[in-house]
């Protein structure tokens, strides 16, 4: 199953590279953005020559592919460094940000969502639902700015932005946390309510199982399948880079890098970033499949 | 005088620096200033270098001040270990995070007061402003006008001039009356203190008043929509098709309030009887409208743009924005070309007088464009440092100008 999956993912990746390669070149000439507005045609011509942008696009694509098989991803136009170095440097930041956030989100959403499901209609459930809906719908740039004004400027508890200490991670993670937390909490709650109403729980209760922990463990396992799908979806979004959060907090992650390189027409960086995130998402999908298989014996082969 | 790597600075270094900037192996942006001039540097002795130019270049010293000087050992390709003769050295560089400069002990000139300078980058100006407030940073050179509410915030002329570039080769804007009507139809004062920050000034030249030859005798166009309409009617009576749709191109985020500014301009022009369609575009697309070669078969276009020249001499602006050969020029006027050529070759008072004449000619005789505003920027300066932002702050922040209280 895995090898089949790998082959189809590899094909998708190739299609993606072809698409991005040609589409990004349709956006225009990098020379007019790299060089000053008053640069002459001769300078532009020279810039294109140095960077191989004067060749026909098909020739450029051939060169790119032949470099690619030697794992040479080309240089960044803007940064005059290997594109892959630039991307990996940024991706490590994003990976940490995404990993820490998702672990916190998953733990918190499952705990709060389950408690809410056990207490449907009671105050705890109502409060959790309201907060999760607010969280799932509030714009993150607004939360980020309010967070900075409140916790950094007014209270002075946390640094406004940047990197360096562990405290610098608190606000970005908190802002990233809110939306997936709200969403996953709703799924957990709904799924748990479903499971708690199912025949096997009723049977267990009828047989005298009073202990909530036992019921919790059994229902959770079944309730988790739809939750895992959403977790995968949310994690993929985070791996693509949290553009807003990275921009506001000055976090040098891959989302901001990708947006910047699209705006600057730094083609090699766009391609390298897309390949890295695509591979990361592919690997994550495998993890999700493994999780499915662990939870649901029917899926195992 | 020595470089920060300890090697001596001499004429050979200047020669190498000049030749390196001209090398086709790197796309050095400085080279554009020397284009069309044949320059031959000759080292006379260690302290003397001779530049021969063809044609003569009276502003060569100004041009040379734009050249970055590196040791003669510097390879042609990009270097990540910048070495210069200035008072600071690059101490560390963490991509995407920060750059740290350290003061040199062996600097030849007066030692600046700042010992270590730490540069960090924030996309959102509100965050940059918050960093000063939280005491994490000392200077945020550009914050938005809406955030400039504390007594740490200073407004300064940022040397940007906003204007509408007219393509005078296309009807109906090839008619001078139509161009005058464009100018009369816009209520410039109405923008100041509303959409644009307090302190913004109405422009009568593409360069700010601190520029050589800036002409105090030029009067700004008054806001006179009736006269504008009358001029349009007059042109219409002479067979000019004044109803042709004019495309007004603005750049999204070019300055705070850019979209609102262009929307207001569009409606003012429409009130005077123009048929204007506004299109806000991104940098790259804007550049296609703004710079030559212009598209074939284009209709009448007004390009809203900003120009920045804080060097004190208008030569670049004049050439690029008004000469027939200029990359962003919307006019082709032999008399103006001649005037620019003569001013470029002149020195001293004659130079100032010729530029004055050129500014007046562009504004009053040719009505080459719709000059709008000299803009202001806002900086936030923390309580620890002693620094007053100036017209140069927009393009460079001189560490040596910064002190402590």
% of chain A with per-residue pLDDT over 70: 97
Show Cβ contacts of residue A70 under 8 Å, excluding neighbours closer than 6 positions. Answer: none
Contacts of B130 in chain A (CB under 8 A): 148-149, 152-153, 160-161
Q: Chain B within 8 Å of A68 (Cβ-Cβ)?
A: no
Does B287 contact A32 at a Cβ distance shorter than 8 Å?
A: yes
B62 domain-assigned: yes
B152 domain-assigned: no
Size of interface A-B (CB pairs under 8 A): 104
B328 domain-assigned: yes
pLDDT at residue A84, as a whole number? 92
In a shared domain, residues B186 and B60 = no
A301: pLDDT strictly greater than 60? no
CB burial readout A134-160, b (16+ within 10 A) else e = ebbeeebbebbbebbbebbbeeeebbb
Contacts of B322 in chain A (CB under 8 A): none
Provide the chain B residues 7-36 that lie in CB contact (below 8 A) with chain A.
24-27, 29, 31-32, 35
State the virtual CA torsion across A214, A215, A216, A217 in degrees, nearest 10: 60
Nearest CA in chain B to A50: B25
B271 domain-assigned: yes
Nearest CA in chain A to B130: A153
User: pLDDT band for position A207 (50/70/90)?
Assistant: confident
Query: Helix, strand or coil for residue B133?
Result: helix
Measure B27 CA to nearest chain A CA, in Å. 5
A212: pLDDT strictly greater than 80? no
B135 domain-assigned: no
Average pLDDT over every residue of A149-171 = 88
Provide the chain A residues 84-103 that lie in CB contact (below 8 A) with chain B.
86, 89-90, 93
Q: Chain B within 8 Å of A50 (Cβ-Cβ)?
A: yes
Peptide bond into B172 cis (omega under 30): yes
Domain A83-300 fold: MetI-like fold (1.10.3720)
pLDDT at residue A284, as a whole number? 87
* Nearest CB neighbour to B120, from listed A33, A162, A265: A162
Measure A33 CA to nearest chain B CA, in Å. 7
Please list the pLDDT of chain B residue by residue as tens digits (405 residues): 889 888 899 999 999 999 999 888 888 888 888 877 888 999 999 899 999 988 777 667 777 888 889 999 888 888 888 898 889 999 999 887 899 999 998 888 889 999 999 999 888 888 999 999 999 999 998 888 888 888 999 888 888 999 999 999 998 999 999 999 999 999 999 999 898 988 899 999 999 998 999 999 999 999 999 999 999 999 999 999 999 999 999 999 888 889 999 999 999 999 999 999 999 998 878 988 998 889 888 999 999 999 988 778 898 899 889 999 888 999 999 999 999 989 988 888 999 999 999 999 999 999 999 999 999 989 999 999 999 888 877 777 888 889 898
Contacts of A42 in chain B (CB under 8 A): 35
Q: Chain A within 8 Å of B121 (Cβ-Cβ)?
A: yes
pLDDT one-digit tens code per residue, A278-287: 888 888 888 8
CA-to-CA distance for B173 and B177, rounded, in angstroms?
8
Average pLDDT over every residue of A160-178 = 88
DSSP B2: B
CA distances from B107 to B7, B9, B170, B296 (A): 12, 12, 56, 55
* Nearest CB neighbour to B78, from listed A80, A249, A250: A80
Contacts of B316 in chain A (CB under 8 A): 38
B402 domain-assigned: no
A300: pLDDT strictly greater than 70? no
Q: B93 exposed, middle or buried (CB, 10 Å; 0-12, 13-18, 19+)? A: middle
Q: Which of B95, B96, B291, B314 to mutate to test the interface with A (most CBs of A within 10 A)?
A: B96
Q: What is the largest CA-CA distance in chain B?
A: 74
Does B96 contact A252 at a Cβ distance shorter than 8 Å?
A: yes
Nearest CA in chain A to B27: A47
Between A56 and B250, name the one with better pLDDT: B250
Q: What's the CATH code of the domain at B232?
A: 3.10.105.10
pLDDT at residue B115, as a whole number? 93
Residue B126, CB-side half-sphere exposure with 13 Å CA sphere: 15
Model ipTM value: 0.80
B329 domain-assigned: yes
Helices (H), chain A: 2-26, 31-34, 41-50, 57-68, 83-118, 123-137, 140-147, 170-196, 199-206, 212-239, 243-249, 254-263, 267-295
pLDDT at residue A31, as a whole number? 84
pLDDT one-digit tens code per residue, A186-206: 899 888 888 888 888 888 878
Q: What's the CATH code of the domain at B25?
A: 3.90.76.10
Between B363 and A81, name the one with better pLDDT: B363
Measure B120 CA to nearest chain A CA, in Å. 8
* Nearest CB neighbour to A153, from listed B24, B97, B134: B134
Contacts of B25 in chain A (CB under 8 A): 50
Nearest CA in chain B to A45: B27
B217 domain-assigned: yes
Neighbours of A257 (CB within 10 A): 29
In a shared domain, residues B44 and B164 = no
In a shared domain, residues B222 and B368 = yes
Does B124 contact A248 at a Cβ distance shorter than 8 Å?
A: yes
**Closest of B343, B309, B259 to residue B33, by C-alpha:** B309
Query: Helix, strand or coil for residue B233?
Result: helix
* Dihedral sign (CA B366, B370, B372, B375): negative
Measure A57 CA to nearest chain B CA, in Å. 20
CA distances from B8 to B57, B106, B205 (A): 29, 12, 44
A8: pLDDT strictly greater than 70? yes
pLDDT one-digit tens code per residue, A224-261: 888 888 888 888 888 876 888 888 888 888 988 998 89
Does A80 contact B131 at a Cβ distance shorter than 8 Å?
A: no
Does A250 contact B288 at a Cβ distance shorter than 8 Å?
A: no
Number of domains in chain B: 2
B216: domain range?
157-376
Q: B223 exposed, middle or buried (CB, 10 Å; 0-12, 13-18, 19+)? A: middle
Average pLDDT over every residue of A86-91 = 91
Q: Chain B within 8 Å of A168 (Cβ-Cβ)?
A: no
pLDDT at residue A1, as a whole number? 63
Q: Chain B within 8 Å of A264 (Cβ-Cβ)?
A: no
């Amino acid at each position: 199953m895995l090898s089949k999956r790998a082959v189809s993912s590899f094909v998708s990746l190739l299609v993606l590279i072809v698409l991005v390669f040609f589409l990004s070149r349709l956006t225009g000439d990098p020379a007019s953005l790299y060089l000053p507005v008053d640069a002459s045609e001769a300078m532009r011509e020279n810039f294109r020559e140095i960077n191989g942008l004067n060749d026909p696009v098909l020739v450029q694509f051939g060169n790119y592919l032949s470099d690619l098989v030697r794992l040479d991803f080309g240089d960044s136009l803007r940064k005059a460094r290997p594109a892959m170095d630039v991307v990996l440097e940024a991706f490590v930041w994003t990976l940490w940000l995404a990993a820490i956030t998702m672990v916190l989100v998953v733990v918190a959403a499952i705990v709060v969502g389950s408690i809410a499901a056990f207490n449907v209609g009671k105050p705890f459930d109502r409060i959790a639902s309201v907060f999760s809906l607010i969280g799932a719908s509030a714009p993150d740039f607004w939360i980020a700015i309010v967070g900075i004004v409140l916790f950094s400027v007014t209270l002075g508890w946390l640094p406004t932005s940047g990197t360096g200490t562990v405290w610098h991670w608190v606000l970005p993670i908190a802002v990233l946390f809110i939306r997936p937390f709200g969403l996953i909490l709703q799924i957990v709650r709904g799924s748990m309510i479903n499971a708690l109403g199912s025949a096997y729980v009723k049977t267990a209760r009828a047989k005298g199982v009073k202990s909530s922990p036992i019921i919790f463990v059994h229902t959770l396992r079944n309730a988790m399948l739809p939750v895992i799908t959403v977790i995968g979806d949310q994690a993929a979004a985070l791996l693509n880079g949290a553009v807003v959060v990275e921009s506001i907090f000055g976090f040098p992650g891959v989302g901001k890098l990708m947006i910047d390189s699209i705006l600057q027409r730094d083609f090699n960086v766009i391609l390298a970033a897309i390949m890295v995130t695509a591979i990361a998402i592919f690997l994550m999908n495998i993890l999700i499949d493994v999780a499915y298989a662990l939870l649901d014996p029917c899926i195992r082969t | 005088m020595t470089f920060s790597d300890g090697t001596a600075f001499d004429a050979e270094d200047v020669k190498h620096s000049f030749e390196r900037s001209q090398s086709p192996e790197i796309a050095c942006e400085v080279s554009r200033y020397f284009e069309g001039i044949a320059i031959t540097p000759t080292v006379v002795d260690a302290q003397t270098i001779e530049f021969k130019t063809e044609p003569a270049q009276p502003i060569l010293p100004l041009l040379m001040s734009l050249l970055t000087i590196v040791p003669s050992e510097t390879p042609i390709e990009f270097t990540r270990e910048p070495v210069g003769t200035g008072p600071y050295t690059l101490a560390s560089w963490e991509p995407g995070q920060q750059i740290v400069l350290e003061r040199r002990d062996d600097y030849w000139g007066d030692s600046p007061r700042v010992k270590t300078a730490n540069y960090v980058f924030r996309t959102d100006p509100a965050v940059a402003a918050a960093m000063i407030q939280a005491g994490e940073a000392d200077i945020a050179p550009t914050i938005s006008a809406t955030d400039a509410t504390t007594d740490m915030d200073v407004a300064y002329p940022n040397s940007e001039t906003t204007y509408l570039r007219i393509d005078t080769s296309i009807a109906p804007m090839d008619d001078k009356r139509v161009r005058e009507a464009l100018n009369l139809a816009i209520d410039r004062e109405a923008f100041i203190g509303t959409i644009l920050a307090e302190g913004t000034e109405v422009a009568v030249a593409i360069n700010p008043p601190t520029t050589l030859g800036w002409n105090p005798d030029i009067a700004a166009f008054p806001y006179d929509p009736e006269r504008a309409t009358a001029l349009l009617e007059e042109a219409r009576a002479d067979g000019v098709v004044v109803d042709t749709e004019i495309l007004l191109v603005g750049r999204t985020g070019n300055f705070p309030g850019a979209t609102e500014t262009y929307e207001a301009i569009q409606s003012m022009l429409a009130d005077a009887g123009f048929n204007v369609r506004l299109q806000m575009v991104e940098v790259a697309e804007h550049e296609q409208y703004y710079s030559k070669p212009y598209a074939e078969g284009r209709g009448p276009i007004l390009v809203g743009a900003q120009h920045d020249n804080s060097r004190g001499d208008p030569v670049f602006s004049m050439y690029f924005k008004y000469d027939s050969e200029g990359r962003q020029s919307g006019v082709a006027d032999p008399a103006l070309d001649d005037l620019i050529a003569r001013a470029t070759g002149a020195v001293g008072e004659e130079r100032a007088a010729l530029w004055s004449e050129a500014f007046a000619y562009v504004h009053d005789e040719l009505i080459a464009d719709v000059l709008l505003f000299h803009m202001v920027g806002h900086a936030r300066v923390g309580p620890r440092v002693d620094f007053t932002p100036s017209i140069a702050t927009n393009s460079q922040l001189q560490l040596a100008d910064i002190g402590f209280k």
